[in-house]
Structure 1
Amino acid sequence: MSDLTKAKTPATVEGVITKASPYEIEETLERLEDTIRDHGLRQFTHINHSWEAQQVGLKMQEAHVIIFGDPKAGTSLMVASPLIALELPLKVLVWQSDHNHVWVSYPSVTYLATRYGVPQELITNIAGIDKLVDGVVHA
């Protein structure tokens, strides 16, 4: 049995999808950033929470948030449902749990659509995040 199949799935949180990555954290991050770029999306920033914690003398597991999107697609969502701006651009958390298991977590499109009343015809503007993350965590 591989380490990946032995990895205990983290506790679930409503509206968040978490997938195991078979890659180490740096490779997972590199694959995510490459995939974002290859899909013609804009990476707005990379927040390294673990590094920031270290800067103030604290220690935590590896945790990185990549914020990315397409301003054209996001704008139409925010025009239709202004409060979704709290969730956009999209965010993906790449993090490491016990025993060095790497996970990729991101908001559920269905959850966002329901929570913010996104019109059905605009859901496709953010629905690609599922396939994007699948491409990162699968060979």
Structure 2
Amino acid sequence: MRRMRKAWGYRSVLAGLAVGLMMTGGSVMAADEATPAAGQAAGQGGAAAPAQVDGLLTIRSRYSVSDSIKRVQEALLAKGLTVFTVIDHQKAAQQHSLEMPAASVIVFGNPKVGTPMMVKSPTLAIDLPSKVLVWEDSQGNVYASMNTAAWMAQRHHLSPEVLAPLAGLEKLIPATLGQ
């Protein structure tokens, strides 16, 4: 019983953080933009440097949300990946009379690549297929976020070599969105 209360306590804190981020338009980027690397990049064309926080790579896009989604999908298809679906969170919220900034998740992968990885570590299936979140903050800045291969390797106790095919996405997505 004590363990359950402790777990619910953590969930309450996490839920509070999530609500806080939604209310501030995801201003978690503010901390990243204050880093020296991000500040230097902001002076070079205004785009923030890719930020890596807790296994999440977040980059600023030069394009609108819809154009960013289209460009990412085209780049993935050109690399032989399958785009399984795009989940439009803003549209889903609107269907329930709720408002939120644009946020869409592109779900993609290649079963020939992902299946052997999941055979080595079945828990990897929680993170595969891969996903890229394209979102807009309250100031209209557009970002793309995705899990890093290194974080997934650590999370699922795999060597980085096993997830090497996923590491290429960490270059493809920024290149596609103008970084």
Q: Same fold (TM over 0.5)?
A: yes
Does the Cα contact within 8 Å between 2:58 and 2:143 map onto a contact in 1? yes
Q: 1:116 aligns with which of 130, 140, 156?
A: 156
Hey, what's the Cα distance between the residues in 2 that align with 1:16 and 1:67?
A: 16
Which residue, out of 93, 98, 112, partners 2:133?
A: 93
Aligned residues: 137
With CA pairs under 8 Å and 6+ residues apart, which has the higher RCO, 1 or 2? 1
Report if aligned partners of 2:47, 2:62 keep a CA contact under 8 Å in 1: no
Find 2:69's aligned residue among 11, 26, 29: 29
| C-alpha distance in 2 between matches for 1:20 and 1:38 | 22
What are the Cα deviations for residues 26-66 of structure 1, in whole angstroms up to 9, with x where unaligned?
11111001001111100011000000000000000000000
Structure 1: 5+ residue runs without aligned partners?
Answer: none
C-alpha contact 1:74 1:125 (8 A) present in aligned 2:
no
Q: Identity percentage over the alignment? A: 35
Amino acid in structure 1 at the alignment position of 2:119: V
CA contact (8 A) 1:46 1:65 kept: yes
The residue matched to 1:104 in structure 2 has which SS?
Answer: strand
Secondary structure in 1 matching 2:63: coil
Aligned to 1:40: 80
Matches within 5 A, 1:43-82: 43-82=83-122
- Residue equivalent to 1:14: 54
Question: 4+ residue stretches of structure 1 with deviation over 6 A?
Answer: none
Give the structure-2-normalised TM-score.
0.70
Higher percent of residues as strand: 1
What SS does the aligned partner of 2:161 have?
helix
Structure 2 residue ranges without an equivalent (≥5): 1-41
Please tell me the root mean square deviation across aligned C-alpha atoms, in Å. 2.3
Residues 114-133 of structure 1 deviation map (CA, whole Å, 9 limit, x = unaligned)? 11012343222311211221
Could you list the per-position Cα deviations for residues 47-105 of structure 1 after superposition, in whole angstroms to 9, with x for gaps in the alignment?
Answer: 00000000000000000000001101100110001101000000000000021000000
Contact 2:57 2:170 in 1 (8 A): no
